[in-house]
Amino acid sequence: MKYRDLLPSVLIGAVASARSMSPMGALAAAHLAGRSTPGRLLLLKQPLFTAGALMMGVGELFGDKMKTAPDRTVALGLLARVMSAGIAGAALAPKGRDRLGGVIAVATAVPLAYLTLAGRKRAMRRIGQTRSGLVEDAMIVCSAVAIVLAVSRKR
């Protein structure tokens, strides 16, 4: 195995740093489209989990624009990032390297949450909360979809 084989886990961790539910939403959408990941993702065999992952991903995009939305670095926000990055990082890792992929994704997501928050706050001062959120949404959702599509295969 080469280190670059774990790049999708690193990248999905970066996605989770900005939008905690986007990795799971992208995996759920890929599953519904008949795609599978190199690592096992048993949770997606449960229709309720798949639907929940999609709804939470979409809900987060709307909730982020609210003035009362908490920073991504509060305890629950970091916990959501740890869980989502860990699951998605494991699913995108090479077969047999799922634990390592999960750890790498979490190790990427948590520190980057602070950097992406700082970037978002700068953008909010320049173009406002809603516009900066929409730009960030577009970047993150497109990235999540691209990463999952690059690694997943048709079943």
Bridge partner residues of 154 (DSSP): 35
Q: What is the pLDDT of residues 23-36, one digit of tens each?
A: 999 999 999 999 99
The whole-number pLDDT of residue 43 equals 83
User: Helix or strand or coil: residue 20?
Assistant: coil
pLDDT of residue 64: 81
CA distance 54 to 49: 9
* Torsion from C-alpha of 41, 45, 49, 50, nearest 10 degrees: 90
Write down the pLDDT at residue 69: 86
Question: Predicted confidence band at 15 (pLDDT cuts at 50, 70, 90)?
Answer: very high
Q: What is the pLDDT of residues 60-113, one digit of tens each?
A: 998 888 888 899 999 999 999 999 999 999 999 999 999 999 999 999 999 999
Give the pLDDT confidence score for residue 107 in this predicted structure: 98
Place of tokens 């799922």: 98
3-state secondary structure of 21: coil
Rounded to a whole number of angstroms, the CA Rg of the chain reads: 15
Helix (H, G, I), strand (E, B) or coil at 75: helix
**Residue 126: domain span:** 3-154
**Element housing 153 (H / E):** strand 153-154
Express the helix, strand and coil content of the chain in percent, nearest 5 each: 75, 5, 20
This model's pTM is above 0.85 = yes
Residue located via tokens 């979409």: 58
Q: Mean of the per-residue pLDDT values for the chain?
A: 94
Cβ atoms < 10 Å from Cβ of 64: 20
DSSP 3-state of 35: strand
The domain total for the chain is 1
Give the CA distances from residue 17 to residues 2, 65, 119, in Å, rounded to whole numbers and listed in that order. Answer: 24, 17, 12
Over range 19-23, report the average pLDDT: 97
- pLDDT at residue 82, rounded to an integer: 97
